[in-house]
Structure formats: structure tokens, C-alpha cells
Structure 1
């Protein structure tokens, strides 16, 4: 397969194959073609054609320069796609072709050319975004374009992006040239490989494929995929659902596109792809939604919310399935089909491209019988300080930061109010699948995000962005992929003026993920400042046409009653969901004062990003635990029961399923008797006994004990322990069923005594299973 054949193959991947008689009966394909036509028509009807124009589209006239030029090229590509796609109304229309070439010429003459780089400020647009759009235009229209036309647009790309290995090569920013990493490397490789096929230059394809190879390695630190499935970008940000998704998409496309050519990537490290998907993405999806905690600043983009992002991931995995180990193909077809069918909020086929509709429907057809509920998993992402928990009827996430992972990223004012998105933020995904869509992020109180412990000081935009904590105890432990414990030593945002760093909010926070129950503990909450401190139990977006009834201690709080109400002795709160199975119960083992806030909030995407200013309104129910001003030893304890009816919540009050063993500065510990589960977060290095467990070092541990066996798991959340964790379990065993290499057994009776070597463990869980 030569360059020309690769170019034609790329064109086919853009437009898919011609419509067949079978396709004509597919309403989804027909609608997909209509969407392409409608988008093209909207751009064709509004493009400026007069000679003295200052922009191509009037609505972009006030947009930031780099973004305006990039968006113009993206719209031109949409016109080119409609022109080149059989079945679209603009297919091979001369007027559309003239619009495309005229617009490309105008942009080249006035903006994107080999001589004009001084006005650009954002390197991504000029080195990646714009080149990718130009490449696709050249591929789609290749047969109609002159060599001179192609050459001058290619020269502009090569002026700004001459090498896939480096970025900022064109000196568009204040810092110097640096090696490209992670998703940026894959984007750059795509730019050069596609352009190489257009220009017929094998050397460009060879350089691009060679540049891919280094990012196929696991990353020990910084950008790329880590062995636990975490994807990090920009050195210290969690980004599986953002840059990681883009990395996956471009890698899969390059592997499939180059297959069968002399530039096919056959390196053994391509086998890592399956592990990255299995560990890096499977635990992060709930019924088609990709968890927000993994998406960084993308939460501030209206066009890329959780279900849109989830569908983009589905696209990539559908294309990746043929690359999987043969034994895994059928299982993954079932998983993908389940995600597609279970997303009743945003129907996948109503937004997919014609090519993806064909591929995904083939996967669905071959999937066979689907599971009735979501696949279960418990995943601690130690390399990026995130925890994901998926059960049959709900998903739950915990977002944290540490001395390793930064608080939040803000670039070009996107996500500029992300202050507390890693301060123990939790998100509960239920059958109300649109909970975190429909304008959640621009309307929610960003200082009262669910799960967080915060102070109510007013914070300027971008405050704390990029901040690393001084705390290393952040992470957790997994048990059998079914249960998990997580915790963090929280260091809040510093004193606003930097004069009193000791005034930052501090707390210890834990979550115990125990099947149908999530237990949340907090202790050592302190702050030497003048602002009230709160822990946010939850902050749910309400539907205007149903659900949202709140029952506190069995007393209904009328939905129409907006405002804040302080309940002094709360044992339970029940929230009715909009859909069946979406109810939520909140249980407080001790009578607890709770402020219940019901309010309507209004905002726009421009408040947190750089998009439209249209106002959006949403109703919210917020549950707040108030710790007061200057708390010294604040605490909290509550449990979340996803999907719980009022009757089940009442049974929990009468017969609690769990017991809090300790909630102190030394340990947080919970026991679930029916499951035989004990979870403990040990905060210190001194020997400490909680229940049947004695441990001598900072650690997160879980123990499950039955009549026949005992399973124990431990991790070093600090990732700093360069030695051994000694463990004593007040029980006996007769033999070893399974054991990780780092675990040593010193005694099985009259007590179990273990040692676990956590040197270089990077926060991973170590496990042993014993026979009773």
C-alpha cells in the first residue's frame, strides 16, 4: 500500500463507503447524512463572500484569534465532508466546492501561511488543530485540487509544525521548543502521517510512525499511560477522559489506517492498547457516560459533556476491538453494546457518523445476549488520585489531589472556577442519566461541589489552578475488584494573599465503597481563618417536571419551598429521583445538624469557559454539614444509599448495616458485618490496632472474612514508604490460596502475621487470600 492508497483509505475513513441498498433502509444512516447536510447548509448560508470581508463568519468576529481561525477551518472541513459524501445534498455541488476553495485561499492569504505567525498565541491550534482540518480538506478534495494549491497549504502546515517530535516549533509562545508527549505526540504524528500521504512523501510517514513508538511505553511519571491505567497530561493532571481519550482515538486510527502498508506499526508495545482500555477506561464508564473526574478542564465545554465524551470513547473502542486479543473480542462487543443500549438519555446512533453507525451496529449484532445491569468494578487510580466505583445500578467517583497530582487545570480561561473539583469531590451516577449534563457545570455552586470540605471564602477565577498539595496521603486500596477504601489528607486552597499559609483548610477524609452502601468519614477538620467551613454531602441537579421530593426524618420537605432550612437532629434524608431506581438515601449514624438548601441557579458556559453567554437555569438540592468558623477538630459521618427507597432507608436507621469502628486523627475505620468487610485508613506510622487489624505504617487496608476464607489487601497511599508494612490480623488460617509476590506470611496461627514490601509500589494494592 503506497502513499496514494493510504490517502484514499483515509478518505474512506472520513466519509465511509458509498450508501448501499441495505443502508437506504437504515433510518439512523439517513439521519446521519441529513445532519452532515444540515450543518454544511448552515455554514454555506452564512459564509461571507464579499471581497472586503474581515472574517468568514460573522459570529466568529469577536472570538479569540486562534480559536476563530481554527473554527473557520473546522467549518470548511464540514463543507468539504458534505461535498465528498454520497447521499448528502451538497455532494459534488460546484457552488459548495467554490465556497471551500475560496475560504481556504482567503485564510491562507490573510492568516495561516508560512509568513504569518506573530498573531497566534496558542500553539495547539496552529500546530495540531488547524493542520488536522486542512489535511482532511486536502484528502476529501484531492482530485479537484491543483498541485500548487495543495503545496502552499502543506507549506503553511510545515511552517508551524515541521516535526512530530516537538511542539512550539513555530515559536508561537513565550517558552521554547519542547518534546511533544502523550496525546500531543499522537496528534502531531497524525498531522505528519496524513500530510505525508497527501504529498506522496514516504519520509514523512516514516518519521511520524517512528515518533509514535516512544509513547507506546508505560510512563513511570508524567505524561502518558501508567501501569494502573491512569492517563496523565501536562505532568500532573488526571486526564483519561480528556487527553487520554484523544490519545486512544488517534492511536487506534493510526494503527488501523497504516495496517497493510510498509509503515504499519508492528511494535510489540501496541499490545499495551488492550490493557489501557481495560484498566484505563472500562472502570470510568456508567451507561454511556464518561466520568467527569477524569476529564479535567473539558467539563467546562458545552459540546463535550459526560455522555458526549462517553460516545467518543465508544467510537474509539469500536474501532479498537479488531486489535484486541482474540479471547477478549466477544466480551468487549457485549460491553460496548451494553453502553450503547443503556444510554437512554443520549442515544448513540442519533449523533454518530455514518461510518461509526455501520461499525457499531455490526458490533451490537454480534454481541448476543447483554447483561441486565452495568458491569461492576472498584478501581483506585493511584497515579492520578482518582477512584471509580461502578455497581449494577449506580456509579460513584472520588476526585482528589496531592503532592503528585495538581488541583485543577485552567488554560485560556477554560475551567477557571475549578477550585474544589479535587477536594474530595464525589459524583453519584444513577438512573437519572442526565444529572451532570443539561448545564450542570455552569449552574452548580462551584464552592459547594458534592463530597468536598471547603471554606466559603470568595475566590478569584483561576485561583489555585496548578497547585500541588503538601500532603502525600492520598489514595486507597481495592479488594477483589468489588470493594474499595479511599482517603485523603486534604489541604485546602492557601490564604488568598499568601501571607498566612497555615490558615489553609485541613482535613482527613475517607470513603468506604461497600456495594450498596458508601460510607463517608471526616475528621481533623481545622482552619485558622474567618470563613465558615462546610462539608457538602451532595448537590443534586433537580428536574423541573418530576422527582426531587425530599423527606427528612420521614417529614416531607415540599419541593416548591426554596431556600435554606437547618434541621438540627437528622438521621435520614431521602431524595426521590426522576426515574425509577434513581432515589437516593442519606443516612447519619448519629443525629446530625444538616442544612438543606433548595434553590434555582442561573449561569452560562461563558462563566466557566469561552463559549456562549446564553443563560441556563437549574434547580438544585444541596445538603450541607456546617463546621463553623475556625473549626479545630471537626468531624462528620454519613452514608449514601444509591437507589434506596424510603422503606430501605428506614430499615437502615433501625438496623444499620455497618459500624464505624473509628473516626479519629489516627484512623478511619468501618465494618460491614453482613459482608464480613472491614476497611481502615491508617493515618500515621505508629503501630495502631483497629478491630482485628494491627498495622505499623500509613496505609489503606481492607479485610473480608468468611467461614471458609480470608482476603486481605493493603496499599501505601503516600507512595513514599521505602520499606515494609507489618500487619497482624486477629484470626487464624490453615493455608495460602493466593498471594502477591510482595506479601510474606510469617504466621497463620494463633494469629496471622504478614509483611508487605511496598517499595516502588506506586500505590498499588497487594493481596493475599488464605484458607480458614
Structure 2
């Protein structure tokens, strides 16, 4: 596996995700260059169609590829491993046909009334596609009575009815959610046109062109019925969805101009986002540090990012064997997304909560998210050189072996993927191997998220800022999200079923004000539907409609108003800092920019740091309080477990007295032990008020967090340890450590080390770990700050580590993303640079050694240097 280690370095900064426009153009064959360059050239010349000519053979190949991807081939479907997938396709089709047969007035399918629900119209098109799919799957059982031709004609008749009665009239359409009209319906309808191309030509030769014309007319956020790269709706995963549909539409119509422009438009999603020079004002996509953003400010790798990867890989498969751009660095870029963007966020087959947006409230998330990722990786590996393919295939095996809910190939989209997956699992030459090194720290500062991994656990931290949203609420999903970007953390422990620890049941049973890591005022907030009687705040006169920019900014995903969120990374160690403040809605309401009946909530205040080491995560908080005088709760941790699990809470008081149970006490440390799952977490209280420990049994409906969830009650034991500040109390400070898998013996060692707090104020927070020789500092204000051996020109994040061999390593980051330079002085030592990033300048100054780091336009990146004595 040496080749794989070289291809996928353990240090993620060694290979940033980076694809410039120049690189994007350079990967395309000369014969197809105009297809890529076309959109920019055409826009400059006022044209839409600057594309390379295609051939009828290419169009036919795209159709054949699409049918194979969706329905499989005779060869793939003859495999025994694919039988379950074929059974599922047939079962679904028979269910849909039964609903078609029993439909009542105003329905095409029973139980799916039409005329006012855009979601039901989308579902009806989906059901027709699922029936059509069963008729094209080689080796599958007939989906219904009669031959496949008869069933296909029933599908076509259904398309005619939907189009003529509910879709084709542009004056009646486009109500509800724009996504259904521009993407959802078009995806199912386009796939059906592909699957039934020959039958349509014989039975209703006019229908394909009619349907495509209607889809163009519904692309209202585009330009002239086509993609508009300047539209805020045509970005990231949404752009990939739309352009994939248009490639297929062009193939069934034989419209080369449509295909060429769609391919060129989709290729733009491969370019790494430069936040200082965004193209088409777009901030959606992958960043140099592996972050992924959708909706301009939402960290979304686990949902929209996953969709983007899937669509790009599908496009590679659709274009295989044609003259269109394919392979090469297209798959190379997707591979880098997997290694740097996705792999850090997957823990034992579970997608972390910090990158799911409103998806955290869905019942099918976590393991199911990773199953979709696995299918994309399986397909991606088929287009790569051997060494790269082996690394990705080894990761597929690793996920299957470590997940508590291994991917179910019967749920893959493509039968071809099922067969490839079986081949990978059966190949004994491929070792199961994680793409993550055992110890890894990833600072996703472009999306205000941090992941810290060690053997046995992973710690995921969600922050926010004026760049990144505190949370996402939309469409009745994630109803109580208010504090999810205020330092909420998720501590994943090896061996446990994460559906029992996190997922929808965590958010349903843990009060939103007591999410792990959060400082919140003691109050009761109301959800958007409770406030306004609908899924959004409706005030067209003030610019608030369902998908308006005002709705996005102040209701769906408001950004934070604090000016500092970021941290430094040194090897596998890291810091993160956050100044907690209000969100954009409260700031705007206070400034008089929002209507009187718009409700905005005020946050508590805190300055926080997380220092992520080997055995522990040390958390410092200062300035904790509330300007409005409310009581404030800081939740050290919250964990949930099934009611049958044996939970033990033990600890020791500061005077050495053993302690157990719940309540408020002067604890030196506390240990949470879930004997049923064999997991434990320790909490060391380094400074601050007495913590309060609680263990309650909570039953709540999953519908409490998402209106479309089944009204299913779920019961969990909810453990919390918190620090409570009474109303009117002055700002407070505290320091504590989270110690995953801690034993009682290990926790007792913290009374005399190894961690010491050097500073904990709203200006500077710092710790030292004696055993690691490591000093870590976050400074939050301008001026020079002293912490241990360091003088730091703040605001800045700095990590210093001294090794027994005499070397000193240093990492520096600008957590504001706005500074041009940061200076750090190591006091009392004359040092020279052994290695240093280009942005780091080292020189001697009176009293020590100074590092001057150019951080302009670094967007939170860490710069490092290794020094030795002169």
C-alpha cells in the first residue's frame, strides 16, 4: 500500500483540494475544449451554444449507458448478488401499479391527490419512473399483468395525463417548492423518457419534445429555459442535478447543443471555490481545506455534497465511450473530495451530524448517508488507475467491516454498482483500510467545523460566523435548530450503534437548549410553524416569500454575528475558538431592519476554546453570561441511550470523597459508563462553578423535530452534565476536559496534571499539556497577549510543541480570516528555521525568536514551521 500512502498523504495539507479554471480546461481533450470553454466565451459574445459538435452515436451511447446505470445489464443482473436489487425494483413497481389501479378522482395513484401539492406531483412522476424501470431491468420479473410493452404504454398514458392535467399548463404550475419544479419532477420525468425512448417513438412520438419543452419552461431560475451560472439556484449539487437531467434530455432529443452546454456547465462544479474571487458570485462547492458549502453558507458535505459527488460520478458513467470530457482529473477531483472532504466525516460507517444541515432531523440518515457515499466510491474506483482504485476499494471494505449497519447494496441506485461492490468485497487482494490515518485532526475552517480523530473516538465540533450559518431550518425540517452552530459537539465512541447515540432521536429527546457543548439562555422558544402558522415567514411586501433571499438570510439559515471562529492545526493536534453572539436575524431586528411581527431570539454570550489533544479535549469558556440578565446553562455534555442500557455515574469530589448519582456537587471528575455498550466518557472539572448532573428518561415524538416524520414516540435515557448560572449573575468562566473511554484511575491523574490552564479570559485562552510538551493558545482581541513562552499578536490561534530532541514546531492561523499578518514571539530562545511554509518568516528579536506569518487570503489555513536552536 505504499503507492496509496503516497497518493493519499496522511497530512491533508500536503494535497489541498484545488482545481482552478486553468486546470479544468487543461484536462479536456482538444476536440472537446470548446464544450468546456463555451459558456464563458458564449456569454462574452452573447451566445448560448458555443459547443463542440457531437454525433448520433454519442447520443445513443449516452442513452445506453443511462439505461445500464439505472436498470442494469443482462450480465450484471444475472449475478446472484444483484437478485435482491431486482426483487426490490419489481416489488416497488407492483406496489405502484396497484396504486395506479386503485386511484380515485383527482389522483393518478391512490393516496396521492393532485392539483395543489407540488410534492404529490413529484411523487406521481417518481412512481411512473419506478414502474418503467422494472420493465427495462434485464432478468427482472414482470411488474404486472400483460407484457412489458403493455405496462410501458400505461406509464406513457400516465405521463400524458400528468402533463395535460397538472403540469403542462404553465399558468397553473410552479406553486410550492421551486426544487420540485426545476429538479425533482425533471429528474423522474427525464429518466422515464430515457427508459421508454423506443416505446415513445412508436406510441407517442410527440411526447418527448413536449415534455422537454415544459421542463425548460419550468426552469424559471435559469435563463431562456437553460442553466444560468449567475443564478443563486444553479450552484453546487443543484447545478449538477439540473445539468445531468439536461444531458439526458439532449440525448433523447439528439440535441447536441443541449448536451454540450450541460456538460460544460456541470464541469464548473469541479473548480475549487476561491472565497476572495468567487466566479458568478458562487460560494457553493468544495474549498481548498475540504469544506463543502451549499445554500451560500451551510456546511453540507453529508447531504448536498454527497449528492454532488453522486451526480459527478454518474456523469462520468453516462459519458463513458463518447467524445465528451470524461476520466482524467474529473475522477481525480472527485477522488480528492472523497479523501479530504468525506472520509474525515465518516466514523464507523456513520456520517457526522455537523454537515447534514436540516437533514439531522430525518429518520433515514447517518448510516444511510454513508451507503450512498459507498456506492459513489465503488463506481468512482472503476475509472481509476490501479493504485488509486485499490485505495478507494479498500475504504469500501473498511466501511463495511466497521459499520454497525453495513451498506445494503439492494438500496444502491444501480445494479451495476451492486455487482461492482460484490467484486470488491470478494477480492482478497484488496485490504480493508481507512482513508484516515489513525490519528487525524481536520480544521474545516471554510465551513466552521472541526473533526478530531483518535483510535476509539471522533470529536466533531460545529461553529458559526458571519460567513457560516448557525443552523438550517427549512420545509418543516429541523424545527428546533437554534444552537446547533454555537459550539455544539458530538463525541462518537467506537463500537456503539450511532443510531442509539445520535441521529434524529438525539435531537428529539435532548432539549435544544442543552445540546452537548452549548451555552444557551434559559427560555422557551417557538418553532417557525408555531410562530407564523406556516413553513416560513410570509410577508411579500417586505421581501419574504418561500425561497427569497430574505427568507434564507433570516429564517432558513441565518449566519452568526460573532467575528471570530477558527483555529490552528499542528499535525494531529488542533485548537478551535469561537466568540458566541446573536444570529443575523436578531442583529437585523435590533437595527430596525425587519418587520415588527418578525420574531428573533437573542443569544447568551461566551468566548470559548477547544484544545484537541490525544486523550482529551480541553474546553475553556470565559465571559459566559447574558446581557439581558437571563439564567444561562452551559452543557458540558449530553448523551442518550436506550432505556434498557445500564448507565452508571460515578465521580470524586474536590476533597477526594467518592460520589455517585445525580445532582449538583463540587466534582473534580465524573465518569459516565454505559456498561451495555461498553463505552465510557470522563469529565474533568478544572475550574468554575459546581456542575449539575442529570439522568432522565424522556419520551418524545420524532415529529417534534420534523413535521413529516412519523408520529413515533421514542424513549431515551438522557444524561447531561451542565453548569448553571442564575439570572442576573455576572459573566463567569469555566474549564473542563472531555476524556473518551476514561477509566476512574485515569481520571484521578488529572488532579496534578497533565493539563494546566495558562489563561482563561475573553481576550486569551491557553493550556499546556506537560506530557506532550504542547502549548496551545487562542487570542480573541487585538494587541499582544502572553501565554506560556509565547507573545502573540492577536487575534490568532497558535500551537507550539517542543520535542525531546530539541526541535520546536509551531502552527499559526488567523481565526478571523481577515488579517494580513500574524506575529508570534517565542520568548527566551534563539531559534532558526529548519523547515517553514513559504508564508512564514523567522527572525531574531530581543528576548526571543519572531515568526511573521502572512495570512492574507488564507481563509483560516494553518501555517507551520519547525525550528531548532542556533
Task: Flag whether TM exceeds 0.5 (same fold).
Answer: yes
Structure 1 gaps of 5+ residues are 558-564
For residues 9-60 of structure 1, the C-alpha deviation after alignment (integer angstroms, 9 at most, x for no partner) is 1110112223569822x4xx3333333333333333333545x621234443
Matches within 5 A, 1:473-622: 473-480=564-571, 482-493=572-583, 498=589, 504-553=603-652, 554-557=658-661, 565-577=662-674, 582-590=679-687, 592-619=689-716, 620-622=718-720
What residue number does 2:121 align with?
A: 69
Q: Is the deviation greater in 347-356 or in 612-621?
A: 347-356
Distance 2:786 2:446 in 1: 28
Q: Does 1:55 align with 2:107?
A: yes
Inter-partner Cα distance in structure 1 for 2:172 and 2:358: 27
Match of 1:31 among 84, 90, 100: 84
Change (3 A) 1:686 1:147: farther
Paired with 2:210 and 2:796, the residues of 1 have a C-alpha distance of: 56
Partner-residue secondary structure (3-state), 2:768: strand
Matched, 1:359 2:450: no
Q: Secondary structure at the match of 1:161?
A: helix
Q: Determine helix, strand or coil for the equivalent of 2:557.
A: coil
Aligned partners of 2:368, 2:115: CA distance in 1, in Å? 24
Compared CA separation, residues 17 and 683, structure 1 to 2 (3 A) = same
Aligned pairs (5 A) from 1:448-459: 448-459=514-525
Give the Cα–Cα distance (whole angstroms) in 2 for the partners of residues 299 and 64 of structure 1.
28
The separation in 1 between residues aligned to 2:828 and 2:395, in whole angstroms, is 40
- Answer yes or no: is the 8 Å Cα contact 2:504–2:702 preserved in 1: no
SS in 1 for 2:191: helix
CA RMSD of aligned residues (A): 3.1
- What residue in structure 1 maps to residue 454 of structure 2? 391
One of 725, 737, 744 as aligned partner of 1:646: 744
Q: Distance in 1 between matches of 2:205 and 2:366?
A: 38
Q: What is aligned with 1:317? A: 377
Deviations 1:414-445 (A, max 9, x none): 22321111011101111323222363333332
- Mapped contact 2:362–2:504 kept (Cα < 8 A): no
Question: What TM-score, normalized to structure 2?
Answer: 0.80
Is 1:120 the counterpart of 2:218 in the alignment? no
What displacement does 1:675 show?
1.5
Residue of structure 2 aligned with 1:428, choices 491, 509, 513: 491
> Equivalents in 2 of 1:748, 1:330: separation in Å?
51
SS at match of 1:635: strand
Q: Give the 3 Å change call, closer, same or farther, for CA 207–100 of structure 1 in structure 2.
A: same
2:313 is the counterpart of 1:261: no
The corresponding residue for 1:368 is 430
Q: Output aligned runs, 1:196-275, within 5 Å.
A: 196-221=250-275, 222-265=283-326, 271-275=332-336
The alpha-carbon distance between structure 1 residues 411 and 258, as it changes in their structure 2 partners (threshold 3 A), is same
Tell me the residue number matched to 2:562: 471
CA distances 1:361-385 after superposition (whole Å, capped 9, x unpaired): 3334266333599743211112111
Residues 234-280 of structure 1, C-alpha deviations (whole Å, 9 max, x = no match): 22111111211111111121123213212224786764333333221
Distance 2:484 2:337 in 1: 25
Residue number in structure 1 paired with 2:239: 185
Deviation at 1:2, TM superposition (A): 1.8
Partner of 1:408: 471
Inter-CA distance 530–55: structure 2 relative to 1 (3 Å threshold): farther
Conserved? CA contact 2:292–2:341, under 8 Å:
yes
Q: 1:464 offset after TM fit, Å?
A: 5.7
Structure-2 change in CA distance of 1:478 and 1:323 (3 Å) = farther
Residues 539 and 621 in structure 1, CA contact (< 8 A), matched pair in contact too: yes
Distance (Å, rounded) in 1 between the aligned partners of 2:733 and 2:569: 25
Q: Does 1:306 align with 2:366?
A: yes
CA deviations over 1:525-577 (Å, ceiling 9, x no partner): 121225321111122121233243322435443xxxxxxx4322122222223
Number of aligned residues = 753
- Is 1:46 the counterpart of 2:99? The answer is yes
- Given candidates 216, 224, 248, the residue that maps to 1:194 is 248
Mapped pair 1:100 → 2:152: no
Is 340-349 or 66-75 further displaced after alignment? 340-349
8 Å CA contact retained: 1:287, 1:339? yes
Distance in structure 1 (CA, Å) of the matches to 2:776 and 2:408: 39
Relative to structure 1, the CA distance from residue 581 to residue 510 in structure 2 (aligned partners, 3 Å threshold; closer, same or farther) is farther
- 1:739 Cα deviation from its structure 2 partner: 0.9
1:79-123 CA deviation, whole Å, 9 max, x = no partner? 222332234333565675455334333322221225454352322
Cα distance, 1:213 vs structure 2: 2.9
Can you list the C-alpha shifts for 1:614-662, whole angstroms capped at 9, x where unaligned?
A: 222131212221122234322222111112233433x334553311111
Deviation at 1:588, TM superposition (A): 1.2
> 8 Å contact 2:240–2:266 — kept in the other structure?
yes
8 Å CA contact retained: 2:836, 2:865? yes
> Do 2:118 and 2:177's aligned partners in 1 also have CA atoms closer than 8 Å?
yes
**C-alpha distance in 1 between matches for 2:421 and 2:77:** 19
Residue aligned with 2:721, SS: strand
Give the corresponding residue for 1:633.
731
CA contact (8 A) 2:476 2:708 kept: no
* Structure 1 contact 569–591 (Cα < 8 Å) conserved: no
Alpha-carbon separation, structure 1, partners of 2:370 and 2:721 = 29
> C-alpha distance in 2, partners of 1:771/1:257?
55
